[in-house]
Structure 1
Amino acid sequence: MFTRCLITAAVIALGLPAFAQDNPMRDGPTWGELQADVIGEVTPIAATGLFVAETPARAQDAATVPIRIIQSDPAMAVTKAIVVVDENPAPVAGTFSFGPQMLPLDFELRVRVNQYSNVRVLAETPNGLAMDGGYVKASGGCSAPATKDPEMAKVDMGQMKLRTFASLTHNRQEAQIMIRHPNYSGLQRDQLTQLFIPAHFLDKIEVAQGDEVLFTMEGGISISENPAFRFVYTDNGAPALTVTATDTEGNIWRNVLPKTGS
């Protein structure tokens, strides 16, 4: 135990990705069946030296599993990433595009994991499409009951909050965007009627800083309830971040969130 604590402390001190090192993906047939549908005939290269996708080996909550993408080489820009949960009913959790102010990339999201599964990130880099990820032990994330009654969830749907953190350098900032939305997967039951709640989720999100887009998302049912995205970006001096979100029911929300928010 003492040795393990020393190793963990060393990993933290050096800024090394402990999850990715200790938790590699496992061989299995599912990705072979999915690959052509997700990325076509491209064969991804290993992400070693380009980026790391950190995943927990065992999730504390299968409905909110954190995935963190960290660019390893500042010269190897990660401009787009596809997050895939192999064993989920809808494996592609989301496709993300990143603007120049997000680079070098440090980006975290939360996904649902329905059963023990590889969780992989396929990212576009100057060296081509690269892949990294881990094997997550979790189950029931896509059918886990929503935290609010459906009628109550409608009341604050679309509300947004920006959290800001201490500056990393003079112009690199860390922030978190949180959006209220049940993101129903279509696999959850109403706790009163026991009927399935129809799928209803955020399908597009854009976060901008002034006229410059930081990142966009095209999402599916594997993104967690009340989506939250934590990221590092270069501050261009704009006083606020603007978040635009749409869902599968045609709702559109647009909020201007001052950077002084906490």
Structure 2
Amino acid sequence: MKLFHAVALAVLIAGPASAASDTAQTALTPSESWTDLRGDITGDAEIADGGGVFNVDAPYRADDAATVPIHITQTDPSTDIKSLKVVIDENPAPLAAEFTYGPAMAPLDMELRVRVNQYSNVRVIADTGSGLLMTGRFVKASGGCSAPASKNPELALASMGQMRLRPFDQPQMSTPRREAQIMIRHPNYSGLQRDQITQLFIPAHFIDRIEVFQGDDMLWTMEGGISVSENPVFRFQYTDNGATDLRVRATDTEGNVFEHTLPKDAQG
């Protein structure tokens, strides 16, 4: 009995310490892969620490490697973030997405979901027009790019291109700031997944470009690859220009074009 109590006490003592270490070790770590990739991603450009301008939040241990949330929030609104790249060092296609932003997106607050194939740094590199800034997080996840799709291919293709917009209530502010979430139905096949019946690889087929407008004003565009999750979801804040709708246009690698006009106040 004394031994049992001793073990139980040790578990109680060790448990919080272990959890604390999990949450503490989230910053970018040294990476040989990044050393090899950097020239292809940013060329010879110098990259400064972006920690004073924006934050990147991601789980240290991902619950689902195929849908890892990456939340980017700008902490210094005086810096103009014109575009950014999301890079996952150890993924088969490390450059997950490239975003370009219109003025209404400032200050930036955006979340997307990505696949992480093995323990990896997830980097966000922002272009301010006067230089590059980078920060990110180390994420423990594996198998995200080869994880089975949530639906069988026939069902996934049948709903492909459907879109929903979910608005979120915002507290009263001095500016007409809104928050919305856009979900696009698409299997975003990575080329590394197997058909669960035939066990053959499913060919890569994914959304490669998204454009989001409010009225005629561009909010943001994205050029993406296989590292963006199945059924892509994007949550973001923007300054309302008075238009009643958000207009979304997406294309995929098979030449499909999906266009929808989504009322800003639609619930779905």
Does the TM-score normalized on the shorter chain lie above 0.5? yes
Query: Which region of structure 1 is more displaced relative to structure 2, 56-65 or 125-134?
Result: 125-134
Distance in 1, matches of 2:136 and 2:58, equals 7
Among the aligned pairs, what percent are the same residue?
59
1:164 aligns with 2:167: yes
Q: How far apart, CA to CA, are the structure 1 residues paired with 2:218 and 2:233?
A: 17
3-state SS, counterpart of residue 144 of structure 1: coil
Structure 2 match to 1:203? 208
Equivalent residues in 2 for 1:99-178, closer than 5 Å: 99-125=102-128, 127-168=130-171, 169=173, 171-178=176-183
Structure possessing the higher radius of gyration over alpha carbons: 2
Count residues in correspondence: 246
TM-score, normalisation: structure 1:
0.91
Within a 5 Å distance, the mapping from 1:35-74 to structure 2 comes to 35-74=38-77
Q: Distance in 2 between matches of 1:188 and 1:66?
A: 21
| Deviation digits for residues 108-128 of structure 1 (CA, Å, limit 9, x no counterpart) | 000000000000000012551
Give the letter aligned to residue 156 of structure 1. Answer: S
Distance 2:124 2:170 in 1: 27
Is 1:246 the counterpart of 2:228? The answer is no
The answer on whether the counterparts of 1:71 and 1:77 sit within 8 Å (CA) in structure 2 is no
Alignment match, 2:7: none
**Deviation string for 1:184-225 (max 9, x for gaps)?**
000000000000000000000001000100000000000000
Mapped to 2, the partners of 1:123 and 1:53 lie a distance apart of 11
CA offsets, 1:64-123, max 9 Å, x none? 001111111111121101000000000000000011000000010000000000000000
1:30 — aligned with what? 33
For residues 104 and 185 of structure 1, what CA distance do their matches in structure 2 show?
32
TM-superposed CA distance for 1:48, in Å, is 2.4
SS in 2 for 1:76: coil
Which amino acid in the other structure matches residue 259 of structure 1? K
Partners of 2:263 and 2:182 in 1: CA distance: 12
C-alpha separation in 1, matches of 2:233 and 2:25: 25
Identify which of 216, 225, 230 aligns with 2:221.
216
User: Quick check: 2:82–2:129 contact (8 Å CA) kept in 1?
Assistant: no
- Stretches of 4+ aligned residues off by more than 6 angstroms: none
Distance 1:138 1:150, change over 3 A: same
> Could you tell me whether the CA contact under 8 Å between 1:77 and 1:105 is conserved in 2?
no
Post-superposition CA distance 1:205-252 (Å, at most 9, x none): 001000100000000000000000000000111001000000000000
Give, as a single letter, the amino acid of the residue that structure 2 aligns with 1:130: L
TM-score (norm 2): 0.89
Secondary structure of the residue aligned to 1:153 is helix
Would you say 1:84 and 2:87 are equivalent positions?
A: yes
Verify the 8 A CA contact 1:101 1:214 in the aligned structure 2: yes
User: RMSD of the TM alignment (CA)?
Assistant: 1.5
